[in-house]
Structure 1
Amino acid sequence: MKKALPIMALFIPKHNNIPNRRYDLDWLRVIVFGLLIFYHTGMLYVANWGYHIKSQYLSEGLANVMLLLSPWRMAVLWLISGIAIRFVLVKVPLLQFIGLRSIRLLLPLLFAILVIIPPQLYYEMIFNGDLNLSYWQFYKAFFVNDHELFINYQPGIWPHIDVNHLWYLRELWQYSLFLVPLLPLLNSRFIEKLTNKLFSLNAVVAILLVVMPIFIIQLSMESDQHRNALGFICLIYGYLIGWHPVFWQRVTEHYKNLLIISLVLYLSLITFYNLVWLGADENTNKVLLVAGNFLYSLDRVLWVLAVMGLASRYLNKPSKQLSYLSDAVYPYYIVHQTIIIAVGFELSRFSLGIALEGVLVLLISFAACIATFEIIRRVELLRVLFGVRLKHSYSPNIKKAGYFIAAVIIIPFGLEILL
């Protein structure tokens, strides 16, 4: 008789055919997070899209540019996250994976909620005419539950305290936990056969099969709900297909065709957006709206495949710049929106015009992100608080003490998020 496999073995991906490190995914992660600075700067100026504050200069046409990025930017990050989880689980025991991931995600998130994000609410309340206090007066009130100052700003992890743009960190931690009980199924021979079968199908059929769950989710759920569900399903897609050699072979070989098709879909999408979506009401043909949602879903998937293929073709190589930028990703991500909102609000006082104001917001925001990271990377405690790996090696006892302190801090916070 064969010896039964230990139960924990069901949670570990198979070790055969482990691919080499994919530097293209590291580059793509850096690029997509970098595009967030452009995207959130654009949110100051795009008409009809909600944001914390708005410039006095609004553009309806800017939405057409934003729609080039909007459908696929987060889907790419979730796909990369799923691939990364599979790499980690091969090397790290499951409980250690959960512990380390919790510390690396929740500690920076908690610090940011209490220190980095509050200025966003401060400027938003001033912009809305709901605040006439100094920042210090506001910040003291910020930590008072049920303060009447925040009666119109209630949703959050705690009253009026929320993750804002850092919802990706919160969801990534939650999805990592939700993925754990699914691992025996995802690692099973049955799912492996289904995945192999997918890549044996005609490319059009395979793409449609991948699109349909995304389309159904987008069509049947409210905005916040489908954002969460789409993130989780893209993370699972990454876990399942991110190692498959046929996937990388096909997207690399056909990246030009994928780009051409994606551009056609993008042009179709902005046509639908301008001719139908902007004027949609209860009398709009429902079939037309369903078709528009399918177009959006298809655009999302094709652009993900296109940028994956493009990155695989040209970016799958290490460099010193990549090592530096990979460390900079989380700090940039954590601070960038607060900087954009603060700079955008202050510059709006000078009536500079949309072009000059927009360029200055971008330049100052990038400069501030660079300066902030240069400080963070030189201070070990700040590296921890911004999700950057420690620079120096420490004794086992010091590591254990650090993990214990971090656990004491994040366990109540994690339970608050889950419950």
Structure 2
Amino acid sequence: MSTPIERPRLYFLDNLRWIMIARVVLFHTGAAYCGMAEYFHETQAGGFMSVLRDIVGTLPGMSVLFFVAGYFALPSLIRRGAASFVWGKLYRLGIPFLLCVFFLGPLMPYMGYYSQSFAGLATDSYWSFWGGMLADGFLFELSDSVFTTNTQFHPMHFWFLSELLEFLLILVVVRAAWRRWVNPSALSMSEGSHELSEERVSGKTLLVAALVMAGAQIPVHAFDLPGGVFLGIFQLQPQSLISHGVYFGLGVYACTNGWFTRLRPPGWASFGVLLGALVCLGAVGFTLFATGGGEDIPRWVGGILGSFWMTISGLWFLVVVVGLTHRYMNKPSAICARLAQASYPTYLLHYPLILVARLFLLTIDLPAPVKGLIVYVLVAASSVFLGLYLLRARPRLAVAGLLALHVILLSVGFPRTSWSHLLLDRLPELHKIVPDQRPATVVERADEAVMSPLDGMSRATPAVGVSWTEGRLYVAAHPKGLLAIDPDGQTLELNEELELSVLTPRSDGLWAIDRTTNTIVAIDSEGQIAEASVIDSSQYPGQPWHLASRPAGGLYFSAGEGDSSGVYYISDIGDTPIQVALLPNARGLSLSPDGGTLYAVADADFNVWAFDAATTGELSNRRAVAELFRGDGRYGRQDLQRSYNAAPEGMLADATGRLFVSTFHGLQVFSAAGRLLGIVDFPDVPLEWDRIRPLTVSRGADASTLYVSIGEEVYSLQTRGG
């Protein structure tokens, strides 16, 4: 049995740890103001902060942290013994993990709901929210971790502790089994000299490590193995476990082979070898893509290349940061020592503190980089202070404070602001129009979904379109097909080849947008194309988005992008489109039942516009009649910038003048006077990284039924007095 060895203090690894934690704080600050819907909706976002997030996100800092953890784990295990080691890690990592997951984690999405006027919730009660999350969280099936405002229970950013605990326990089991049945001296530490020699960790060693590490990851990348959160707290993502586990294992290997104690860190030669390998991999990938096209490359080939690229680039980054910190920061420093001590508490506290700081800045007009700098400095300083003087110095007091905060929130909740309870206060008005109900599913999502081209993470799919006409509900299905649902619920497949999006009634069938050609086509009542290309988007006026037909004939449609886009009109098939309104990024359209008013919304515009519509199709008297809810804390604030995109799509005006607009938040409902009454949420829509917003809204056989398409699904909704 190996005896404990006194090892020199590796100050640079301590410093490397707090530097990587600072990188995590910077990443989450960048994510806060990059324009993504990560808990809050920020008006000042994007631009530089989006670039910052992308750059910091490409740096594999978490892999470096797992490498450092693996490096220090083995000496601790040898020194303390298996039982004491496991108990110590459960005490130091396991208990804080559970406390944070159960009492700190749920606060993060709750603050998101608070910032968005509790859109999607029926009450501001934190007791109801917290209890609901826990009640639905302990699932045996795997679920995704989604860092947006939702009610799904998952480990939040504390997943790092979950994986680290798993790796530490695996190390204990593997070391005991290997030493018992294979090699009694395995996974021990050399008793030789710990003085640094002139020999360095070689580039050849790193390339062999890259081959082994990439080989372990290839099955995950090539076959897209399922993964997720188990029982709401255990991180079981094969890709994450393998990609981080190999770095943890590399850290253990580095420790047993005397890296940094006998062998100097990798130098310029290793840097060049890994960089050359990356260039070669990039050239191979570019050649395959250029000669065969991206769609022709087999998945397994992409998986192999991707595994090697991610592994070698990660090792290259590890070589860089280890080399720099070893050269310039491998010496005692009181400040660095304190930062190293605070690194673990900082990781625990920083993300909730970022959200708190963002709440205070939510309705203050400042450039996104300025807000980001303020938040980063405040959060970094407060996290270090609380970490040193509360979590480390008085851990029991820290636990008592967390539980006391939890009890206060359960009892009192968050304070009311001018924006926090807007939707809840108007809920009674909404229920006079839309009774409290759970929207009914009319068309369910297919079992298989495609990867979203928008974010590369979710499995969101293009939305289907719906339209009620001639006593049937017509559904443009995905990936293709046109369905008709009779009043008795019987579904007929009229055409299995059509790939359509938006539909609207026509005197003898439907108008539709063909997704394959981005043209407007005429469909008869049996689902056959009557006119293949009413409007060709390859020429003027551009890609069509939404349609609104006149009862007596004629069609309005939104088309184009940017300042040249707008609303167009044709009176019949074969007519040349006439631009009747200049509305940049025009989207959803709806005619009043009498055909006298056309309502329109536009992407990145918070207004709902109304036009007087003449029988000739001409539009006049443009006016703003309502303001879309954006969830940015600035509703109705003329004195503040209001640029967050509510992402409006389809809309419907009923006989009483009420408006229903599909947006990022759900279906927004407005009175005839333009007052926001509330938002209808669709809780049964499968959760994605980002919300799947409703696309189209259609009136049913009676004026009280609405059909709303969201993703691949269609829901029905009952209203009053429409």
CA–CA separation in structure 2 for the residues paired with 1:360 and 1:263 = 36
Instruction: Give the secondary structure class of the aligned counterpart of 2:295.
Output: coil
State which drifts further: 314-323 or 331-340.
314-323
**Would the aligned equivalents of 1:55 and 1:348 in 2 still touch at CA under 8 Å?**
yes
Q: 2:347 matched to which residue of 1?
A: 333
Q: 2:250 matched to which residue of 1?
A: 237
Q: Does 1:362 align with 2:376?
A: yes
Deviation of the 1:314 alpha carbon: 2.3
Aligned-residue CA RMSD in angstroms? 4.4
Q: 1:130 to 1:85 in 2, by over 3 A?
A: same
Aligned partner letter, 2:82: L
- Structure 2 counterpart of 1:73, from 61, 68, 74: 61
CA–CA separation in structure 2 for the residues paired with 1:226 and 1:62 = 25
CA–CA separation in structure 2 for the residues paired with 1:269 and 1:59 = 31
Deviation of the 1:291 alpha carbon: 3.4
CA–CA separation in structure 1 for the residues paired with 2:10 and 2:49 = 37
Q: 1:131 matched to which residue of 2?
A: 121
TM-superposition CA deviations, 1:239-272 (whole Å, max 9, x none): 1212423566665361x55567778899999999
Instruction: Give the secondary structure class of the aligned counterpart of 1:252.
Output: coil
Q: 1:161 matched to which residue of 2?
A: 153
Deviation of the 1:176 alpha carbon: 1.2
What are the ranges of 5 or more consecutive residues in structure 1 without an aligned counterpart? 1-8, 387-419
Deviation of the 1:164 alpha carbon: 0.8
Q: 1:220 to 1:59 in 2, by over 3 A?
A: farther
Q: 1:391 matched to which residue of 2?
A: none
Q: 1:293 to 1:245 in 2, by over 3 A?
A: closer
Aligned partner letter, 1:164: M
Name the one with the larger strand percent: 2
CA–CA separation in structure 1 for the residues paired with 2:368 and 2:261 = 42
Q: 1:183 matched to which residue of 2?
A: 175
Q: Does 1:27 align with 2:12?
A: no
What TM-score do you get using the length of structure 2 for normalisation?
0.43
**Would the aligned equivalents of 1:52 and 1:120 in 2 still touch at CA under 8 Å?**
yes
Q: Does 1:318 align with 2:308?
A: no
Q: Does 1:100 align with 2:99?
A: no
- Based on CA coordinates, which of the two structures has the bigger radius of gyration? 2
Deviation of the 1:35 alpha carbon: 1.5
Q: 1:16 to 1:111 in 2, by over 3 A?
A: closer
CA–CA separation in structure 2 for the residues paired with 1:262 and 1:51 = 35
CA–CA separation in structure 2 for the residues paired with 1:87 and 1:226 = 28
TM-superposition CA deviations, 1:156-202 (whole Å, max 9, x none): 8xx94332101111111121111112114666478679x9xxxx999
Q: 1:215 to 1:34 in 2, by over 3 A?
A: same
Q: Which structure 2 residues correspond to residues 240-255 of structure 1 after superposition, within 5 A?
A: 240-245=253-258, 252=265, 254=267
What are the ranges of 5 or more consecutive residues in structure 2 without an aligned counterpart? 146-150, 191-198, 228-236, 402-722
Q: Which structure 2 residues correspond to residues 4-403 of structure 1 after superposition, within 5 A?
A: 9=1, 14-15=2-3, 19-46=7-34, 51-53=38-40, 55-56=42-43, 57-59=45-47, 62-63=50-51, 66-68=54-56, 70-126=58-114, 127=116, 129-131=119-121, 133-134=123-124, 137-144=125-132, 160-184=152-176, 188=183, 203-221=202-220, 222=224, 224-245=237-258, 252=265, 254=267, 256=268, 283=295, 285-286=297-298, 287=301, 290-373=304-387, 374-382=389-397
TM-superposition CA deviations, 1:33-57 (whole Å, max 9, x none): 121110111122446x784445342
CA–CA separation in structure 1 for the residues paired with 2:269 and 2:46 = 35
Q: 1:270 to 1:43 in 2, by over 3 A?
A: farther
Deviation of the 1:107 alpha carbon: 1.3
Q: 1:318 to 1:120 in 2, by over 3 A?
A: same
Q: 1:26 to 1:247 in 2, by over 3 A?
A: closer
CA–CA separation in structure 1 for the residues paired with 2:284 and 2:357 = 34
CA–CA separation in structure 2 for the residues paired with 1:352 and 1:202 = 48
Instruction: Give the secondary structure class of the aligned counterpart of 1:120.
Output: helix
Aligned partner letter, 2:339: L
TM-superposition CA deviations, 1:323-381 (whole Å, max 9, x none): 32233122211110111123235423334222222222212222332443334455341
What TM-score do you get using the length of structure 1 for normalisation?
0.70
State which drifts further: 93-102 or 308-317.
308-317
CA–CA separation in structure 2 for the residues paired with 1:350 and 1:242 = 50
Deviation of the 1:80 alpha carbon: 1.0
**Would the aligned equivalents of 1:116 and 1:334 in 2 still touch at CA under 8 Å?**
no
Q: 2:686 matched to which residue of 1?
A: none
Q: 1:219 to 1:380 in 2, by over 3 A?
A: closer
CA–CA separation in structure 1 for the residues paired with 2:112 and 2:68 = 32
**Would the aligned equivalents of 1:26 and 1:326 in 2 still touch at CA under 8 Å?**
yes
CA–CA separation in structure 2 for the residues paired with 1:58 and 1:345 = 18
Instruction: Give the secondary structure class of the aligned counterpart of 2:363.
Output: helix
CA–CA separation in structure 2 for the residues paired with 1:372 and 1:317 = 26
CA–CA separation in structure 2 for the residues paired with 1:189 and 1:201 = 28
Instruction: Give the secondary structure class of the aligned counterpart of 1:245.
Output: coil
Deviation of the 1:104 alpha carbon: 0.8
Instruction: Give the secondary structure class of the aligned counterpart of 1:131.
Output: coil
Aligned partner letter, 2:244: G
TM-superposition CA deviations, 1:218-243 (whole Å, max 9, x none): 44324732111222222121112124
**Would the aligned equivalents of 2:207 and 2:274 in 1 still touch at CA under 8 Å?**
no
**Would the aligned equivalents of 2:200 and 2:265 in 1 still touch at CA under 8 Å?**
no
**Would the aligned equivalents of 1:251 and 1:309 in 2 still touch at CA under 8 Å?**
no
